[in-house]
Amino acid sequence: MSGLDWGVFALYFSGVIAFAVYHSRRNRGVEGYLLANRRLPWAAIGLSVMATQASAITFIGTTGQAFDDGMEFIQFYLPQPLAMVILCAVFVPFFYRLRVYTAYEYLEHRFDAKTRSFASFIFLVQRGIGAGIILYAPAIVLSVIMEWDETATILIMAVVTVAYTLMGGITAVVWTDVVQMLMMFAGIAVALVALFAALPAEVGVSDVVYIGGIQGMWSSIDLSWDPSNQYTIWSGMIGGLFLALAYFGTDQSQVQRYLTAKSLDQSRLALVFNAFFKVPMQFFILAIGVLLFVFYHFERPPLVFNPAEVAVVEASGRAGELAALEAEQERVHALRLGETVALLDARDAGADVSDAAGRIAAYDAELAGLRQDAKALVTEVRGAASNDVNYVFPTYLVQYIPAGILGLMIAVIFAAAMSSLDSELTALAGATVIDFYKRYVRADAADAHYLAVSRLATLLWGGLACGVALFAGRLGSLIEAVNLLGSYFYGSLLGVFLLAFFVKRADGTGAFLGLAAGMAAVGVVSVTTSIAFLWYNVVGAVVVVAVGALLGGVSARRDSPA
């Protein structure tokens, strides 16, 4: 990074932290720390909700995913507008009327303490792990750009985020998210413009669309009913709907956002905002990945994007095999480049280009095969699976983005990571203190005591996130890893809330056992079948509702007078 890049980066960080501390000055007590004294406007909450989900994983993992697989991942996001409408109509009124601190307090009002504690414990486990994955993402960027050790970058990132979260609580988090979400929008626009600018001058938008279309990279809808197919319109619209309802409706990191609103209507407006803007944002982020695929038709891409993996092979006795694969890749890439230029010239002349398109597709397939061979070699040498999908976008940034803009893009990725990590920390702290410490340890302490414990919990969860982050590099695509992790838990959490809202005869014992049965069912399905992980959310929710309704009915009949 140049001095200009460092200047942009430093200016951004200092400005964000100062902004967060400034807006936190009106916080009062533990309610101020965890819920901003319920006084935030809907626009700020809406941007914060979006920023919480749009972590650095979104920029790093999603672009790498699209580089390999095209736009198919957009199917995962299509049901989110419908989910937001359902949340506005059903979930938000229940939470807001009771003026709860956490979503899981509602479960004690509706069922009992053990169901509340079980649900909150599930949240703590899965979001504690998820926070570590989120923290790992920007470490990838610095490891590529600065050749810094990932452990050091993880620790630096955690210290900065924990520090301003401790100072300002949820108010600092939300207002920081506002700035960081605006930065993300700017970053998406800059990345798209920079990619088009880096292409040859004669390559236009229609040419980019056509080249990507040769390999079906723009195709986003898969009508297949195969449940083992990871991303189809059905897994997206059904499994994705259940996941979105669970994430935005039962995950404390999201529920906490709209509990900070001034009124029920303000909470609903925040979610409606997301309904309109989330899918377009994800489309453009995925488009960056497809544009990278097209860009590397004109520039030779790395055979393996993870430089650490390349270094391991080059230091081994099998370096010659990697060199042979790189030489073959260079040869095939040159052929593809020549064919691509010829195709574009023929298109401009109005000639038939179907044969040329077929040859380019064949070269694409051959290059993909060489890439897989290289990754297999890395796996054999390292003794662990090769993982370079998360390095695709950072590698492009380092090699092709000019000074100043690079600093901005790195700031955007860090903004995305911070906006999700700080949200997780405040949510984890809130659930820990309200659902466990205050409920079971100190029920009548002073407000200042709970505030101190909340800050301590924030610090402890930050430390745990660091530990998980050190392991996260083994998880493959980060965007898939975080959604896979959530899918093991979210369906069952959604099920217990649906049981509470819609099954009047359900009781605490039925809800508790239903929640346990849902978790077990997802575990069995994940081990014994090959169905795509998005369907886990459906399985968990259906089993919880079915078991909870059945056992609730049994309890009702058992307790009724003869």
| Spatial contact of 503 and 552, defined as CB atoms under 8 Å apart | yes
Query: Lowest mean pLDDT: which of 330-334, 365-369, 420-424, 436-440?
Result: 420-424
Q: What is the pLDDT of residues 278-293, one digit of tens each?
A: 888 888 888 888 999 9
Tell me the pLDDT band of 179, cut-offs 50, 70 and 90: confident
Question: Would you report the helix, strand and coil content of the chain in percent, each value rounded to 5?
Answer: 80, 0, 20
Cα 540 from chain centroid (whole Å): 21
What does the domain layout of the chain look like in residue ranges? 3-296+397-559, 307-386
Contact 514, 541 (CB under 8 A): no
CATH of domain 3-296+397-559: 1.20.1730.10
Q: Residue 543 pLDDT > 90, yes or no?
A: yes
Which residue has tokens 């965007």? 479
Give the pLDDT confidence score for residue 151 in this predicted structure: 79
Using DSSP, how many helices (H) and how many strands (E) does the chain show?
A: 23, 0
Distance CA 156, CA 544 (A): 41
**Highest mean pLDDT pick, 17-21, 381-385, 484-488, 528-532:** 528-532
What was the pLDDT predicted at 373? 93
Note if the pTM is more than 0.75. Answer: yes
Contacts of 116 (CB under 8 A, 6+ apart): 104, 105, 107, 108, 435, 439
pLDDT of residue 222 exceeding 80, the answer is: no
pLDDT of 161 above 70: yes
| 1-25: average pLDDT | 74
Mean pLDDT of 230-252: 86
